[in-house]
Amino acid sequence: MIYLDYNATTPIDAAVAEAMLPFIREHYGNPSSGHALGQAAHRALEAARASVASLIGASPDEITFTSGGTESSNHVIKSIARLRKTAGKHFVTTAVEHPATLNPMTWLESDGYTRTEVAVDETGLVDPDDVRKAIRPETILISVMHSQNEVGTIEPIAEIGRIAKEAGVPFHVDAAQSVGKIPVNVEEMNADFVSVAGHKLYAPKGIGALYVRKGVEIEPLIHGASQESGRRGGTENVVMSIGLGKAAEISGAYLKQGDHTKLRDYFWQQLSAALGNKVVLNGHPTKRLPSTVNVSFPGHVGGELLARLDGVCASTGAACHSGDAKPSKVLTAMGLNRERAIGTIRFSVGRPTQQAEIDSVVDRLSRALSSEMAAENTR
């Protein structure tokens, strides 16, 4: 098996698992308890919070642990809708956002909320000026993802954040796909809210974080006691939070050493050399996640081609859409025709990926396409 689906999820780093184990076996106290066992858990939880904050340039008291990126984005959108409903009921977002952003907005439509989805160009890039033009007096939130999860395009977030700040509109960034892969700094982004997903950066599934800028009001999504500075009721998930904290620490060190850009570019170079015009790159050629190689094989069906690659794990779009035969909404928004969209496979590399694995996948693709063409010629 060759795993090239790191945008969908990552394995838990061995050091992350090791850091979690003592809090499964020994340090099981409730962090809200005043006794020694509880306080040990509390100190570890706060250390993990500080590690997550450090990774994105925030203060620890600006970090709330959540169950993942989807909860974080839902928290922002639903809270802002309630807090600012007297100011307006209009959201500005883009046509290539994750369902974690678009679906809460759709859910709020029954209460009179509307949204403007700003278009993207053929590479998936948003024009900040289009965001500016979409703002209305009744706009209460701008939400734009940092990097597109299917094609990897990195959006001009800092510029959009400046526009939001000038307009006096809160700005939410879904950074689930970019944290741990590229540098993320909440101050440089001019962000008020940032969503983080642990399982995208070698932490467990079921843990994430939400950055809330100091001084910005937000209501709890989950009401209960005063955990997480009153932002999220319920006993804290100490084990998973420690896992995310350790993963953030490792990611910070990794980003200082480099990223996957050379491996990503090598993959595309080998594909284009072996297949020529039989393969087309999707997404921005340079402003793209170092993990992501999204390509189309015109005249073929991505899912069928992937099934013939003999144990290669990749996606025919975002993983959460993999059972859907319809063209990806993201690729459609970028202007890809149905044939090219249906023929798409997203490969995404990770820290364990070896060059030999990429060579093997390119070879398997070449053989799969050759055999498919031969079969067509004999019909």
**Is 14-255 the same fold as 2-9+259-377?**
no
Instruction: State yes or no: pLDDT of 38 exceeds 80.
Output: yes
Instruction: State yes or no: pLDDT of 260 exceeds 70.
Output: yes
CATH 3.40.50.1780 fits 14-255, yes or no: no
> Judging by beta carbons within 10 Å of its beta carbon (0-12, 13-18, 19+), is residue 339 exposed, middle or buried?
middle
Give the active site residues.
Answer: 320
Q: Convert the pLDDT of each residue in 308-348 to its tens digit.
A: 998 999 999 544 444 556 789 999 999 999 999 999 999 99
* pLDDT number for residue 258: 86
Cα 263 to the center of its chain, rounded Å = 20
Q: Are strands 114-118 and 63-66 parallel, antiparallel or unpaired?
A: unpaired
Q: Are strands 312-313 and 2-3 parallel, antiparallel or unpaired?
A: parallel
Q: 2-9+259-377, which class in CATH?
A: alpha beta
pLDDT band at residue 377 using 50, 70 and 90 as cut-offs: low
pTM, rounded to two decimals: 0.95
Across residues 57-64, what is the average pLDDT? 98
pLDDT band at residue 375 using 50, 70 and 90 as cut-offs: low
Q: Convert the pLDDT of each residue in 353-372 to its tens digit.
A: 999 999 999 999 999 998 76
Q: How far, CA to CA in Å, does 277 sit from each of 284, 298, 371?
A: 18, 9, 17
Instruction: State yes or no: pLDDT of 259 exceeds 90.
Output: no
Across residues 244-256, what is the average pLDDT? 97
126 touches 108 (CB < 8 A): no
> Judging by beta carbons within 10 Å of its beta carbon (0-12, 13-18, 19+), is residue 378 exposed, middle or buried?
exposed
Domain map (residue ranges) of the chain: 2-9+259-377, 14-255
